[in-house]
Structure 1
Amino acid sequence: MSSPSKATRWATALAVPLVLAAGTAPAFATGDTYTVNLHQKLPLTATSDGVERGECPNTIPADKDGWHFVLPTNGTDFVKLTVTFQPGGQQVITTFGPPSDKHAYVASPAGATLTSAVAQVKGGEVKWFNLSHACPAKPPTTPPTTKPPTTNPPTTAPPTTTVPSTSKPPVDGTKTPAPVTSSAGTGSPSSSASPTASDSVAPTTSKPATTGGGGKSLAQTGTVAVGGLLATAAILVGGGILLRKRRGNHAA
């Protein structure tokens, strides 16, 4: 009985290290490659809390979210990376870098959620890979809307109307002479005419001339004027003769 019990003890002692060694090896190891999962807990978006923001190469379009995955140690490279987005579906990445194959970049629709990430790697002994950072999509650039220049109509001042001044004539103490009313055409003699001695002279027997607008004939008007002159001349002549007689008397 003692021999079998010793054999059992030896078998158990040998089996424990083998189990421990198997537990430390990466899962799904095939040859020199093995499979590891993403270290961060999923699901995640490019803008989730705890996700670092960074830059992505030009291979990631600006209108898509970029994802940068990296292996934690040198000497380990990606062989295949399988990721699933919602929306976007599954993507299988086999081209890596830059700067080396331990870096992987993936593009997804803007705002998509990463629901799964599994990598097949080679070299080294790693238990997971990391999401280094994300590159959220940039909003589309909208060209500035240029407003047309505002043209203000010219402000034209209304024409100035000059009002003539109503100045009064200067007062110098003299009265303006009243206009003389002509007797022509009124039918009545002017009030300024004074009677003369010739008014008593009898009219001649000449035919009356055509009357004008004053009611008297032109012949009568001429006769009165001539008669007045003759009477004045007669008075002057008589005065001269009388003066000469007085001078002669004084001389005698």
Structure 2
Amino acid sequence: MSFHSTAARFTAVLAVPAAVLATAAPALAAGDTYTVPLHQPLPIKATDDGVKPGECPGIPADKDGWHFVLPTNGTVFVKLTVTFQPGGEQVVTSFDAPTDKHAYVASPVGATLTSAVAEVKGGEVKWFNLSHACPGTPPTTTPPTTAPPTTKPPVTTAPPTTPSTSKPPTEGTKTPPPATTSSTPPGTEAPPTSPGPATTDSAAPVPSTPATTDGDGGSLAQTGAVAVGGILAAAAALIGGGYLLRRRLGGNHAA
């Protein structure tokens, strides 16, 4: 065997492991994950100049939407960590719209993206991109309608009224004068007192008192005093007559 044949065989043996190693190296690299930053400078808002508008499936209309994408088809997202102000940090691990190289995130309207880091797998990329943003519309809040307070007027309590017991005088009527107390009916004169038997004594019968008339000429009833005076005078006359009668009878018996 010549020297050249031996050298050719030795070279062929060494070439086989090299080919195997070259084939296995890409497969080993494809299974590892690595971290890449966002290509756009931060901080950034969805409405900033240079940010393209677009559509963000699954993002509510009252939120800002953010669409992130990887630059090559051989690389996919494994984990995406973003931080908004306000809104805080969000960690996304589900990517399927439409493939694993796309990621959609929602934030409060007007929030600022302050940090974005992605853990990816496959290929060799140095960053990922913000494809476009979807500015949201703030929810309209209607202030509650408050009815003005109803002001009630103060309740005035009228003082209790005491019903009057006196009736007003009727027009055209006159109040009759108070009645005069007397034993003699009005309009008649007291009967004259009968004198006792005629005597020579100084006692004389008391004349009756004439009836008193009012201003219109009508007779007024005698008062109780006049009636009593007439009775006393009659009694005195009777007593005086009896006394004289006894004296006369006594004189006759003496004769």
TM-score (norm 1): 0.43
TM-score (norm 2): 0.42
